[in-house]
A and B are shown apart, each in its own frame.
Chain A
């Protein structure tokens, strides 16, 4: 066991003294140090700086001093109707998109795991969407949704259904964003579920089959409990990703129409740059950070479970 590596290097084997000796003795810290230092600089500094920014009113003019406003920016969170809209939109998007992706991905994985074990090349084809640049995905769907010449309205027409404005329609805009996200990320759930299913033990199923348990019972009593750690990881990663949705709305709707698709990331971006109010944007970011920390703490407890 090298894990406690104290005893693995007899003194007689150590290279003689000096710098080399010192490096060797502190190797465990030296190998970790660059990463820890870089990440400290890149995460702790911004977080602290953000607290500082959040209690100030920052003028877009860099020559003007920052004005201390205390908890003023946080108090605005309570009364800002736009923020509440963004919060609701983010929640709606996250819940709807992740639920759909989960049901579709798990369903497809169960169906295929049972009948088509060797997917090989096909599987990689199905994986393509989630690897693509989100911007490419966004313009692709913009082209598909285009009201005048878009291919989706042509399909609606061929099916005898009314054509729609899709991303430009007040009632369908959020739905359009969700569909594009489901297209891109269902493969992710599908892939993780397939991996989970492939690692299931065989014996409990044989025992259950002997007892005459229906395949439905087997699914509830065996498959789901065994998959639980993988499901937890897949869902949490998706939720974290859905909470930071930006690229799709930026290209497809710009937050409109009538703020129906204005999500948190987009609103913070607008406040910080278009309305030039970084102090308030920082306060909102801290709120997002808080939500993320709560969720990721829960996630990491799950990770320990999977380790």
Chain B
């Protein structure tokens, strides 16, 4: 008896040790690439090319930040990214919240509720490459290529369904009774939504908005096709433009790439509680 218990305890201990080891390895593998791009953005070119590599920058410099954000238009690209992300988010969250509420609370004839819900979800599933040709021809026809509004329109196509499904899932979690009480007290149906449900859904609303910002900020393919000018291009396109067939401007793209990551990491920490729901379109409640 005693040996069996000892043996199982040793097994338990080994498993526990392997769990700690696994998480340590996972952390190193996860964080090293992020550290590496940051470290290289602070090195002089000669140190970036050093063999063996300089694990920690010995002569840290802001040279590449100056190159990217002062001499080259990366600040402009970042501003474009920001404006497009904010515009898309404002539209998507406003209409998505209303639609999400309607789908969570109201009944419709002929199973419309279910049908429309899934149709909206299916538009989110559409790969961007599929809509890119018609969108390109459409924007070309209306002379809207190289504009930020074209990007806002294109990004809304996949952010709006996302916002609708997220908000639907948050509203479904709220108790209906509070809205019913407000209506009994004389509020209108719209008033119950505005004054009761909406304030209660504020955390979900904030999370949805942050996810929309992240999705728009990260988008690449649509922007690559729709925009060609400095006035309209977003940060990812600016970065990709410095990776050419002949040479890659490592310092510059490291600096710009790292700067593109910083707001996202901050946002990730803000929405950490909502990550599961956000990434599964509201299907899994974390």
Q: Do the two shown chains form a genuine complex with each other?
A: yes
A residues apposed to B, CB below 8 Å: 1-6, 8-9, 13-15, 20, 23-24, 27-28, 31-32, 34-36, 38-39, 42-43, 45-47, 49-50, 53, 62, 108, 111-112, 114-116, 119, 122-137, 139-144, 148-149, 151, 154, 157, 183, 187-188, 191-192, 195-196, 198, 230, 233-234, 237, 240, 243-244, 246-247, 250-251, 264-265, 268-269, 272-273, 278, 281-282, 285-286, 288-289, 292-293, 295-296, 299-300, 303, 306-307
Q: Are B176 and A237 in contact (CB under 8 A)?
A: no
Q: Are A133 and B264 in contact (CB under 8 A)?
A: yes
Question: With A and B bound together, what is the CA distance between A2 and B181 in angstroms?
Answer: 11
Q: What chain B residues lie within 8 Å of A2 (beta carbons)?
A: 105, 176, 179-180
Interface of B is mostly: helix
Which of A9, A119, A129, A295 interacts with B183 by CB under 8 Å?
A: A9
Q: Are B129 and A285 in contact (CB under 8 A)?
A: yes
Which 4 pairs of residues, A with B, have the shortest CB-CB distance?
Answer: A46-B134, A35-B99, A28-B106, A115-B19
Q: What chain A residues lie within 8 Å of B61 (beta carbons)?
A: none
In the complex, besides A39-B119, A140-B33, A244-B127, 7 extra interface pairs with C-beta distance below 8 angstroms are A42-B131, A50-B134, A115-B16, A125-B30, A125-B31, A237-B281, A251-B243
Q: What chain A residues lie within 8 Å of B95 (beta carbons)?
A: 34-35, 38
Rounded to whole Å, the gap between the CB of B202 and the closest CB of chain A is: 18
Q: Are A148 and B49 in contact (CB under 8 A)?
A: yes
Query: What would 14 A/B residue contacts be, using CB atoms closer than 8 Å?
Result: A27-B102, A32-B106, A39-B161, A116-B23, A124-B269, A129-B30, A130-B279, A139-B37, A187-B30, A247-B220, A268-B129, A278-B137, A292-B130, A307-B283
Question: With A and B bound together, what is the CA distance between A27 and B188 in angstroms?
Answer: 10
Rounded to whole Å, the gap between the CB of A299 and the closest CB of chain B is: 8
- Whether a CB of chain A sits under 8 angstroms from the CB of B4 is no
B residues apposed to A, CB below 8 Å: 15-16, 18-20, 22-23, 26-27, 29-31, 33-34, 36-37, 40, 48-53, 91, 95-96, 98-99, 101-103, 105-108, 116, 118-123, 125-138, 140, 153, 156-157, 160-161, 164, 176, 179-180, 183-184, 186, 188-190, 193, 214, 217-218, 220-221, 224-225, 235-236, 239-240, 243, 248, 250, 253-254, 257-258, 260-261, 264-265, 267-269, 272, 275-276, 279-281, 283-286
Q: What chain A residues lie within 8 Å of B180 (beta carbons)?
A: 2, 8
> Contacts A115-B19, A140-B33, A151-B53: A124 and B125 contacting too (C-beta < 8 A)?
no
Q: What chain B residues lie within 8 Å of A151 (beta carbons)?
A: 36, 53
Q: Are A250 and B131 in contact (CB under 8 A)?
A: no
Q: What chain A residues lie within 8 Å of B134 (beta carbons)?
A: 45-47, 49-50, 53, 282
Rounded to whole Å, the gap between the CB of A301 and the closest CB of chain B is: 10
Q: Are A27 and B243 in contact (CB under 8 A)?
A: no
Q: What chain A residues lie within 8 Å of B225 (beta carbons)?
A: 269, 273
Q: What chain B residues lie within 8 Å of A6 (beta carbons)?
A: 107
Question: With A and B bound together, what is the CA distance between A247 and B218 in angstroms?
Answer: 10
Nearest CB in chain A to that of B25: its residue? A108
Q: What chain A residues lie within 8 Å of B284 (beta carbons)?
A: 192, 195-196, 230, 233-234, 306
Q: What chain B residues lie within 8 Å of A143 (beta carbons)?
A: 36-37, 40, 250, 254
Rounded to whole Å, the gap between the CB of B252 and the closest CB of chain A is: 10
Question: With A and B bound together, what is the CA distance between A149 and B47 in angstroms?
Answer: 10
Q: What chain A residues lie within 8 Å of B281 (beta carbons)?
A: 237
Q: Are B133 and A278 in contact (CB under 8 A)?
A: yes
Q: Are A34 and B99 in contact (CB under 8 A)?
A: yes
Rounded to whole Å, the gap between the CB of A276 and the closest CB of chain B is: 12
Q: Are B261 and A35 in contact (CB under 8 A)?
A: no
> Contacts A1-B176, A112-B23, A154-B53: A35 and B164 contacting too (C-beta < 8 A)?
yes
Which of A108, A141, A265, A293 interacts with B129 by CB under 8 Å?
A: A265
Q: Are A43 and B189 in contact (CB under 8 A)?
A: no
Question: With A and B bound together, what is the CA distance between A9 and B187 in angstroms?
Answer: 10
Q: Are B26 and A24 in contact (CB under 8 A)?
A: no
Rounded to whole Å, the gap between the CB of B20 and the closest CB of chain A is: 7
Q: Are B220 and A135 in contact (CB under 8 A)?
A: yes
